Chains A and B, each alone.
Chain A
Amino acid sequence: MKHGKRSNDPLWWVPFGGGMMVDALALPALVIITGFLIPLGVLQVGGLQQALLHPLVRLVVAGIAAATFFHAAHRIRYCLPELGMHGLKPVMAPICYGLAILGSAAAVAVALRLI
């Protein structure tokens, strides 16, 4: 590493670590609810649809989505080049974190009904 050049990794580690813990705590139950219990008719969907209209619920869901985007971006950034795609190494950070930033902005915009 050149002198004076600092890694920006700690900056990305915070949303990554946070996202990993948010996903670890909440995603398995959420996937069971929205992926199985509601589609298979075990739970009524009306309540969920009403809840998803509440501004606070919308922001929380957007927050979980944003946390997940940063979590996945950081993992894929390092893992994909290790699977043989070494040429991608220099472009992984801008692509992964760029998508995470765009996805999070879109999630918040959807939550606020701007788009």
Chain B
Amino acid sequence: MNKTPPTKGKVREYVRPVPSNWWTKRRNYTIYVLREMGSGLLAVYAVLLVLMLKFAPNPTQFQNFLDLTKSPLFLGLHLLVFLAAVLNSITAFNLTPKVIRVFQGDHKVDDRVISGVHYLAWGAVSVVLFVLAWKI
């Protein structure tokens, strides 16, 4: 049995009140919250991808879905998704030197090289996807 340290009378823990809009006070906090909650937009986009898979075998359903994506509502949604995706990409690649440490002999490879390689990979994957979309 754990014994709790003796206290005189009842002691209540002090919880410092934090207003719900704390994240609007500093730019870094705002970017943090936009990135975290923006991932919800990415999940919405993932649902759209699954719907595309679902409708692809049926030309009528696929065309109806395509017509829906032409609406201003969906174009606006995709714009927000794109912004959230780019924010995730930039913050993820800037973070990579903190996660990956590469040594060349005794010399630690520069952070900018680690990030840079990931940005190059981003560019390469994007080019491959655009070429695939163009060719098919």
Contacts and interface: CB of A to CB of B under 8 A. Distances in A.
A83 interface: yes
A27 B20 contact: no
B117 interface: no
Interface of A: 20-21, 23-40, 43, 45, 47-53, 58, 61-62, 64-66, 68-69, 71-73, 75-76, 78-80, 82-84, 103, 106-107, 110-111, 113
A72 B66 contact: no
B75 A50 contact: no
Nearest to B66: A45
Nearest to B130: A29
A51 B56 CA distance: 9
Q: Is the interface of B mostly helix, strand, loop or mixed?
A: helix
B49 A33 contact: no
A53 B36 contact: no
Interface stretch (B4-12, B88-96, B105-113): B88-96
B102 interface: no
A72 B39 contact: yes
A7 to B, nearest CB: 19
Interface in B35-89: 35-37, 39-40, 42-43, 45-50, 52-54, 56-57, 59, 62, 66, 69-70, 74-75, 77-79, 81-82, 85-86, 88-89
Contact of A21 (B23, B85, B92, B133): B92
B40 to A, nearest CB: 6
A68 B45 contact: yes
Contact of B133 (A33, A39, A69): A33
